Amino acid sequence: MSDYGTLQDRVRCKSLLSKVMTAEETIPFFKDGMNLGWSGFTPAGYPKMVPIALAEHVEKNNLQGKLKFSLFIGASVGAETENRWAQNDMIDRRWPYQTGKDIAAGINTGKIRMGDKHLSLFAQDLGYGFYTKDSPTGRLDLAIIEVSAITEDGGLVPTTSCGVIGEILAMCDKVIVEVNIGEPSFEGIHDIIVCDNPPNRQVINIQKTADRVGTTYYPCDPSKIIAVVESKLRDKGRAFAEMDDTSDAIANNIIDFFTHEVKAGRLPKNLLPIQSGVGSIANAVIGGLAKGPFTGLTVYTEVLQDTILDLLDSGKCDAASACSLSLSETEGFPRFFANWDKYYGKCVLRPLSISNSPEPIRRLGCIAMNTPVEIDIYAHANSTLVGGTRMINGIGGSGDFLRNGYLKMMHTPSSRPSKTDPTGISCVIPHCSHIDHTEHDLDCVITEQGLADVRGMAPKDRARRIIEKCAHPDYKDQLTEYLNMAEADCIRRKVGHEPQLWDRAFKMHLNLDKNGTMKLKNWDIKVDLCED
C-alpha cells in the first residue's frame, strides 16, 4: 500500500494480476544481445525496478560485459538505470539520446555504439523497423514500460512521459510492465495517437495547443504482457542551476525581441506557442516569460521543466503540451503533486511522434528556442559534439522545431570558461566543428551580449550582425579580422558568397586544444597543409 493506492487498484485488467512478480523474478527473461525498448523521456516515465535489478544481478555475478543489450528509448532516462548499466558494460548500442557521465564516456571511448537522430524521425523509424532490420526477427525482443495504470482491456496508461511507447508496443510481442504506485495516477493527462504507417498515415488534427484528439492510454493486447512489477520509485529528474546574470540577460533579450515583433505585427499579443529545449538556459527563458509582459501564452514543446510551474502560477499560461513532464526530483515534482488541481488540467502529454511532428509544429506556428554548443558567424549551429568529435547527449528534438517553427531561435552564452581562461571558449566561431542545424534553419541568435535577427540577410551580412550583436567583447575584433581576411581572399578568387579560409577556420578550436583558450596571437598559418 502507498499513499496513492495499491497495485490491485491500478491494474483494472484483473487477469494480469496472475502475472505479478518481483523485479528479480523477471531476470530470466533477459538474454545477452537482446534489443530492448524502454519507456521514458528526459528523464521521466522510465522503468526503474527491473533495470536496477538487472544491474544488481550483473554486479553480484560478475557478468560485466557478458550480458549486453541494445537500448531503444525515446530520449534520456535516469542515471540510476542507463548510467549504471554503462558502468557495468551492459550496453552495446544506444539510440538516440542519452545523459550520464559514464554512458557518455562509453560512447566516446568506443565501448557503446550510439546513433544520433532527430527525435521525431527516430520515433517513426523505430516503428518502421529500421533499427531492428538486421535482427533475426526484425523486431524488438523485449519491452519494459512504466505505467500509472492498466485499463480493463489491457490499455497502458503512461506516467510522466509518453516517449516512443506506441512504436515499442508495435515492434515487440513481450512486454514487462512496471506499475508505479509511488506517485498519483497520471490517467487523463495524456493524449495518445498511434499513427499508422504510410500510405495510411492519418492527419494529426491538432489546431490549438490544448486540443485533445486521441485516447488517454496506449492499446495493448494483454497476451503480450509477460510480467507486472510493482514500483514505488519516482523519477530522478534533473535539477537546474538558478538563473544567473547570463541566463537572465539572454531571457531579457528574447522578451525585448518578442515585444518588438508584437509591435511590428509579426506576432500576436499572446505570441505563438512556445517551444523551449532542455537545460538551464531554456529553463531560465521560460522563467523569464513568467515575469514578462505577455499573457494568454501557450507552450507546445517536448519537455516541461520546473519553470513551467512558475509560468502557470503567474496566470500567464493557458495550456502546456509536451512529451514529458521532466521536473526536478526534490523541488519540481513535490510542487506539482502539492498543487495537482492547479497544474494537472492545464498540461497534456503526447507521444514523441506527435509532440515533435513537423505537422502540428508548422500548423501552430511554434516559436523554437534551443541551446547549442556553438554557433558560427553564418548561423550554422552545433548541438551535439564538442570539438566536432566528443558526444555530449545528442541532437534531441531541437531540429524538429528549428526546421519547422515560425521563429527559429538559438540562445547560448557568448563564451564559456576553459580550465585556464574565464572566457577561453567563444561560442561564436568562424565555422562550427560539427553542424547539426544549417544556416537555412535559424532566424535569430541570442547571447547575453544581444540578439542578432538574421532573417532575410545574405551570408556576409549575417556574419557581421552575429559578431556585432552576439560575440563576447574578447573575441569581436578577432572574429572581424578573420571575416575581413576571408572576404578579401574569396572575393579576389571570385568564390565569395560565404567566405571561409579553410587553413584558418578551425584555428580557434586548435588553439583551445593546445593552449586552453580560443584567444589567438594572430591568424598566421605557419604550416602548408598541402605540402608533400
Sequence-ordered list of residues with C-beta below 8 angstroms from that of 69, at least 6 positions apart, any chain:
30, 32, 33, 34, 35, 36, 85, 90, 91, 92
List phi, psi (to 5°) of 385: -120, 110
Q: Which residues are within 8 A (CB) of 156 and not within 5 positions of it... i.e. 6 or more apart?
A: 145, 147, 150, 165, 169, 177, 217, 218, 220
Question: Residue 22: which residues within 8 A CB-CB, separation 6 or more?
Answer: 53, 229
- CA–CA dist 431, 434 (Å, integer): 9
> Which residue type is seen at 515?
N
For residue 46, which of 188, 223, 238, 180 has the smallest C-alpha distance? 180
Catalytic residues: 302
What angle (nearest 5°) sits at the alpha carbon of residue 95, between those of residues 89 and 98?
Answer: 70
Distance CA 253, CA 151 (A): 47
Q: What are phi and psi of 36, to 5 degrees?
A: -110, 140
Which residue, 368, 288, 283, 355, is CA-closest to 320? 355
CB 350 within 8 A of CB 189: no
Q: What is the largest CA-CA distance in the chain?
A: 79
Distance CA 26, CA 177 (A): 11
CA distance 524 to 391: 30
Q: Rounded to an integer, what distance in angstroms lies between the CA atom of residue 254 and that of residue 267?
A: 13
Q: Count of H helices and E strands in the chain?
A: 17, 25
Q: Are 303 and 277 in contact (CB under 8 A)?
A: yes
* End-to-end Cα spacing for the chain: 76
211 sits in the region (left: phi over 0; alpha: psi -120 to 50; else beta) called beta
Beta bridge partners of 69: 91
With cell 515533435, the residue in question is: 356
Nearest alpha carbon to residue 421 among 459, 472, 458 = 472
Q: 378 with 439: CB under 8 angstroms?
A: yes
Question: Does residue 372 have a cis peptide bond before it, meaning omega lies within 30 degrees of 0?
Answer: no
Contact 4, 184 (CB under 8 A): yes
